[in-house]
Each structure stands twice: as C-alpha cells, then as structure tokens.
C-alpha cells in the first residue's frame, strides 16, 4: 500500500539502504554547522524523511523532547522512528505545520523544498515557527546544469522512458537555478538569506547501481524493466561523464545550495 507521497514501506527502506550511503550521509554535518543548534534549543526537522539529519541532531539536543520531525510520507517516518526512538514525529504537509508561532529556535529542512508544489508557502510556514533569535536553514540541489551526470540521466531517461519519467528524475533539481531560491525567500516575506553553494558528490558501487538506485529505489519504483535499465546504463556510459565507470565504485559531482535566514 502506498502512502500520501505514493511511497511504500519497501521504497522507504530502499531509500535508506541506497540513497543515504550514496548521497545524503555527507550533508547533515554541513547543515548543522550552518544552523548552529545548541543543546537546549528546540529543533524541528521539516521533511525529515528517514531521519538522516534528525539522528545527527539528536546527538546535539540535551533533551529528545526538544527535537521533532515532520514528513508527508508515513513510510519514511516509519524508518525514522526506528533510528530515533526518542524523537517526536508527525505525519503532515509542510504547508500546514502543527505548531504554534515561534515554537523552535532552529528549523531545518534537508532537500525537501523541491518536492512541494508551494515552496513559498512552505518557506513562510517554516519561518513562522522560528522564535526571535532563531534560524531557518534549508538545503536544495543545484540545477541540472551544474550536476552534469544527473542532467545526462534525465536526457537519456527521456529517450528511453518518456517525458513523464524524465520529469520525475528532474524534479529534485527544479529550484536550483541561480537566484531562484533568493526570490522564493523574498516572495515568502523573509529577509534575504545567506546562500552558500556547496560542492558534494554521489558515490555508488557501479554505474549500473547508480541507475538502478535512481530509477528503482525511489519515485519510479518498479515501473522500469531490466532491459530499459541496461539501455540507460549503456547510453550513460557512452557519454563518458564517469571516468571510472568500470571500477569498484563510481563517484561524480552532486552539488547543493544551503541557505540560512535569521529571525531578528
């Protein structure tokens, strides 16, 4: 059975097993460094997913009761609860968060904003929860133009799978064009944030594993057959964007944007 995001518990576990070690493990430390949470701060993780960032924050919070996480996907929250048993989690939309104004000293959101159809409203809602003197910190992926392997994957998926599948792979990079994030903060009525481009990477056991993970361990799940996977792998290999495609692991750029807005 799928949840509110169209995900199953199996998809959420696939995300944790494959995406976290390949991509997301490197970002909590950077987000936390920008957010500067203190042990006594009240902290909220919006779009917490399987709790990749939440579990790092739980090592800082002096009281687990001061830390909360929210996500639209009940399947993802099921995994998060296993990793952070003392943390309060809520299933809800980020457009309407179930907390009073100024409830938190720190509100963070890791690679979630791209997936909402109302990013301005989500920013406004998250900022509403930040207490005076607090911080809102978010991360998103830079656009496909600065993540060339993912740009190639989207182009090839369009050839092999069609426009709808390609657009689902491009979705996470939709807000990453230069200046777009700052304009969203402005439209949400939030003072200009400090915006930092951050170089990152994705590391997978092989090119085949990369393609299978991106296509079969997330939104496209079981909708793509093995023949199509092999076609995409072959076409991607022919692009020569991954120099060590035959090695024991492949690594390539996956760059992000981090933004911090202070509540004065």
User: Which pLDDT band, with edges at 50, 70 and 90, does 196 fall under?
Assistant: very high
Pairing of strands 201-204, 130-141: unpaired
pTM, two decimals, is 0.94
pLDDT in tens, 112-141: 999 999 999 999 999 999 999 999 999 999
Q: Is the pLDDT of residue 153 over 80?
A: yes
Q: Which H helix or E strand runs over 253?
A: strand 250-253
28: number of Cβ within 10 Å: 20
The answer to whether residue 224 scores a pLDDT higher than 60 is yes
CATH of domain 9-147+172-204+252-262: 3.40.50.150
Cα separations in angstroms, 74 against 50, 65, 114, 152: 10, 20, 19, 32
Mean of the pLDDT values across residues 75-80? 97
Name the residue among 55, 71, 81 with its Cα closest to residue 7. 71
Residues near 21 by Cβ (< 8 Å), separated by ≥ 6?
A: none
Q: What percent of the residues of the chain are helix, what percent strand, and what percent coil, each to the nearest 5?
A: 45, 20, 35
* pLDDT given at position 243: 59
- Would you say residue 246 has pLDDT above 60? no
Radius of gyration (Cα) for the chain, nearest Å?
18
pLDDT for residue 222: 67
Domain-by-domain residue ranges, the chain?
9-147+172-204+252-262
Evaluate if residue 32 carries a pLDDT over 90. Answer: yes
- Span 250-254, average pLDDT: 93
pLDDT at 4: 78
Query: CB under 8 Å to 8, separation ≥6 — which residues?
Result: 1, 2, 75, 221
Q: Which two tokens stand for residue 226?
A: 């093995």
């Amino acid at each position: 059975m799928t949840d509110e995001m169209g995900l199953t518990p199996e998809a959420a576990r696939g995300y944790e097993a494959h995406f976290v070690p390949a991509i997301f493990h490197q970002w909590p430390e950077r987000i936390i460094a920008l957010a500067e949470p203190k042990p006594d701060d009240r902290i909220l993780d919006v779009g917490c997913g399987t709790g990749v960032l939440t579990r790092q924050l739980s090592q800082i919070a002096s009281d687990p009761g001061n830390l909360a996480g929210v996500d639209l996907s009940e399947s993802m929250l099921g995994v998060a609860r296993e990793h952070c048993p003392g943390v309060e989690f809520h299933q809800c939309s980020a457009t309407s968060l179930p907390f009073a104004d100024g409830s938190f000293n720190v509100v963070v959101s890791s690679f979630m904003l791209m997936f909402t159809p109302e990013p301005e409203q989500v920013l406004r809602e998250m900022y509403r929860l930040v207490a005076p003197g607090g911080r809102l910190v978010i991360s998103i992926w830079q656009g496909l133009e600065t993540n060339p392997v993912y740009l190639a994957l989207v182009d090839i998926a369009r050839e092999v799978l069609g426009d709808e599948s390609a657009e689902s792979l491009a979705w996470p990079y939709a807000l990453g064009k230069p200046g777009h994030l700052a304009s969203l903060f402005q439209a949400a009525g939030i003072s200009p944030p400090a915006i930092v481009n951050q170089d990152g990477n994705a590391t997978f056991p092989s090119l085949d594993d990369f393609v299978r993970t991106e296509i079969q361990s997330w939104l496209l799940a079981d909708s793509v057959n093995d023949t199509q996977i092999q076609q995409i792998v072959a076409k991607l290999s022919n692009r020569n964007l991954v120099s060590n495609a035959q090695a024991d692991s492949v690594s390539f750029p996956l760059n992000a944007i981090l933004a911090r807005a202070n509540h004065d």
